[in-house]
Amino acid sequence: MKAENETKRNIKLAVDYGLYTLIACVFVLPIIYMFVSAFKTDAQIVSDMSTVKAFLPTGKLSFDNFVAIVDQVKFFRFFKNSALVTLLNVSLATILNAMAGYCLGMLDFKSKKTIISLIIALSIVPSEAVVLNKFMIVNKLGMINSLLGLAIPSVGYPMFIFLYYNHFKGMPKELVEAAIVDGETYGGVFWKIMLPLSKPVLATVTIMGFIRSWGDLLWPTLVTRDETWRTLPLALRALSTDVYIYWGQIFAFSSLMTLPVLILFLVFQKQFIASVTSSGIKG
Amino acid sequence: MKSKSSNKGLAAAQRRTSLIYMAPACILITVFILLPFILSVYYSFTNKMLVPKAGKSTEFVGFANYIKVFTNSATAKSFVNTGIYALMVVPAIIILGTLLAVFVNKPLKGVKTFRAIYFSPQIVTMTVVAVVWSFILSPNDTGIMNSLLSKFGIPAQSWLQDSRLALFSIAIMYIWQTLGMEMLIILGGLQYIPLEVYEAADLDGCSGVQRFVRITVPLLKNTMVYVMLSVTINTLKLFTQVYMLTNGGPKNATTSVIYQLYKVGFMNNQQGFSSAIAVVFFVIVLGISLLQNYLMRDK
C-alpha cells in the first residue's frame, strides 16, 4: 500500500517535471536558435532549418558573422550610442523621479494633492500617442539627432513618480522628523536616509527603465537623422530590411544585442523577478 | 515641544525643498508629455503639416480630421486591426498565464529555475524577438514552424506574407515574449492568498476544482484585472513588430494605430490628422484605465 503511494507520487512528479521541461523548451528554443545560428554560415542555417539541428551547434562554427558585424556593420558604434542613451536616461529617470516622489510622499506643501492627481492623470497618456508633437518640440529645442534628444524626453515619467510616491508614503515619517531635529535638512534626509532605504524600488525602476530604453524603436526612429546617433534597434532594422539578408549576421547582431541584458538578468535575477511578481499586488 | 516659529520654519523648509526637488521631473513632464498632449488636441482640429509648405497656412478644420479617422479606410482598419490583435493576445495571456502560474506554484525542487526560464523571453527586446521569429516563421516548406506543423499534417503557411495570418504571427511573438512575465504577476497574486484559507477549505472537504473556482478566482480578482487591462493597453501600443517586419502589409492587414499615426504624421506630413488619431487613441486608453479603476475599487 505504502509502496504503491510512493510510485504514484513519483509518477506524478515525473509528469510535472516532464511538463516543466517541455514548456521551458517553448520559451528557450527560439533564444537558443538565435545564439547557435550566430556561429553558422548562412547556408548551414538554411539547411538546418527543417530539423532539430536548427537548435544545435552543427556544421562548421566560426566567429565570421561577429567579425562581419563589428567590421562592416559597425556594431560597437551603435552599441556605444545605445549604451550612452540608456545610461543617461535610466540614471536621470531613477533619481529625478525619486526626488519628486519623495516630496509628494513625505513632505507637506501647498497644492500637493493637485500635483498628485495631475501625475496620476498624466500616467495614463501613452507616450506613443503624443510622439509626433513631442518630436516637434524636440525639433524646436534643436535636440534632433543628439544624445540629449534621444535620452531626455522620456526621463520625467509619471508612472515612476507614482511608484516612488507610493513607496515613500508608506515610510515612517518619524525617520524624517528625528533627522530634522538632529539638524539634517530635508534634502539631506532624502540622500542620506531615504535613498539607502529604498533599494528595492530603485532596483525596480532601474530595471523597468533599462528595458524601456534599451529596446525603444519608435522614438529613435523619429529623432535620429543618420548613423551618428543610430541606436541598436534601429541598426538591427536597417540590417534586416537590407536588399540582401545575411541571416548569420542578423543572428550575430541580435545575440550581441541581447547579451548585456542577459548578463544583467542573470546577475540581478532575484530583483528582476521580485519587482515583476509584486507589480500586480501593488497595481 | 516644538515652538510655533520653528514649526513655521520647518514648513517653509519643506516648501523650499519640494520646489527644488520637484522641479526637474515636473518641468520634463510638462515639456515632453503635457505640452505635446495639449498640442495634439489643438492640432487635431487643424490641417497643420509637420513640415509647412510655402503659401499654405494652418487653418481650423473643425471635426474634419476626426471624421477622417473613421472614413479613411487604412486608418479605420488600423483601429480594427489593433482591436483584433488585442483580442488575440489578451485572452491567450490570461488563460495560459493563469494555468502556468497555478502549475509553477508548487513547492518542488528547481521550480524557481523554471519560473526564471519562462520569464527569460521578456529580456529579449521586441526588435530582436521580431527578427528571430520572422526566421522561425519562414514561409517556405523548410521553415522551422512549417516543418514542425507538417509533422501534424498541417500544410506550409506563408505567415507574415499572408494577410489572414500576418496579425496572428505578430501576436504569437508578443505572447511568447510576455507570457512568462504575466505568469509571474499572477503567481504573485496567488502567493498573496493566505494558506489558511485553503486549509480551512480542505477541512470543509472542498475538491481541487471547487478550491480554484471558489477561492483562487475571487481572491485573484484584482491581480487579474490588473493583468488584463495592463496587457490590453500594452497591446494597443503595437508598433515594433509592424515597423520591423511588415510596414503595415500585406494589404494593410497589420497596420496598427501607432504605426498609422507615425506614417500619417511623419511620412505623409499630416500632423493635424495624425494628432486626431492620437486623441482618439488616447480616449480609448483612458476608457480602459477608468474601467480598471472602477473594477479594482475597494468595496
- Interface with chain B: mutation pick from A16, A17, A20, highest number of B CBs within 10 Å: A20
Is the per-residue pLDDT at B139 higher than 60?
yes
Q: Does B8 touch chain A (CB under 8 A)?
A: no
The answer for A 30-49 residues in CB contact with B (under 8 A) is 30-31, 33-34, 37, 46, 49
- Alpha-helical (H) ranges within chain B are 4-29, 35-43, 64-71, 73-104, 111-119, 126-136, 144-150, 166-192, 195-203, 208-211, 217-219, 221-236, 240-241, 257-262, 271-296
Beta-bridge partner residues of B60: B46
Q: What is the mean pLDDT of residues B260-269?
A: 93
Q: Are B121 and A31 in contact (CB under 8 A)?
A: yes
Residues A58-80: tens digit of each pLDDT: 888 999 999 999 998 899 999 99
Q: What is the mean pLDDT of residues A106-116?
A: 91
pLDDT tens, residue by residue, B216-250: 778 888 888 889 988 999 999 999 999 999 999 89
Domains and CATH numbers, chain A: 2-67 (no CATH), 73-241 (1.10.3720.10)
Cβ contact A152:B28 at 8 Å: yes
Strand partners of residue B46: B60
Average pLDDT, chain A: 91
Cα gap B185→B66, rounded to integer Å: 38
Distance CA(B215)–CA(B198), nearest Å, equals 8
For residue B196, pLDDT over 90 is answered with: no
**Residue type at A185?**
T
CB atoms within 10 A of CB A272: 24
Is A280 a residue whose pLDDT tops 60? no
B287 has a pLDDT exceeding 90: yes
Residues 136-165 of B with CB under 8 A from A: 136, 138, 141-144, 147
At which residue does the C-alpha cell 492620437 appear? B278
- What is the per-residue pLDDT across B59-112, written as a single tens digit (0 to 9) for each? 899 999 999 999 999 999 999 999 999 999 999 999 999 999 999 998 888 899
Contacts of B239 (CB under 8 A, 6+ apart): A128, A217, A218, B256, B258, B259, B262
Burial B20-57 (b: 16+ CB within 10 A, else e): ebbebbbebbebbbbbbbebbeebbbbbbbbeeeeeee
Mean pLDDT of B20-49: 95
pLDDT, mean of residues B25-35: 96
The yes-or-no verdict on residue B278 having pLDDT over 80 is: yes
pLDDT of residue A93: 97
Residues of A within 8 A of B48 (CB-CB) are: none
Contact of B142 with A54, CB cutoff 8 Å: no
Do B148 and B141 contact (CB within 8 A), yes or no?
no
CA distance A71 to B33: 39
Instruction: Specify the CATH number for B67-296; select among 3.30.1380.10, 3.30.70.20, 1.10.10.10, 1.10.3720.10.
Output: 1.10.3720.10
Cis peptide bond N-terminal to A196, omega within 30: no
Specify burial of residue A243 (Cβ count, 10 A radius: 0-12, 13-18, 19+). Answer: exposed
Domain boundaries, chain B: 67-296
Q: Please, how many CA atoms are within 13 Å of residue B99, restricted to the half-sphere of its CB?
A: 9
What single-letter amino acid sits at B122?
A: Q
A277: pLDDT strictly greater than 90: no
**Mean pLDDT of the A182-188 span:** 92
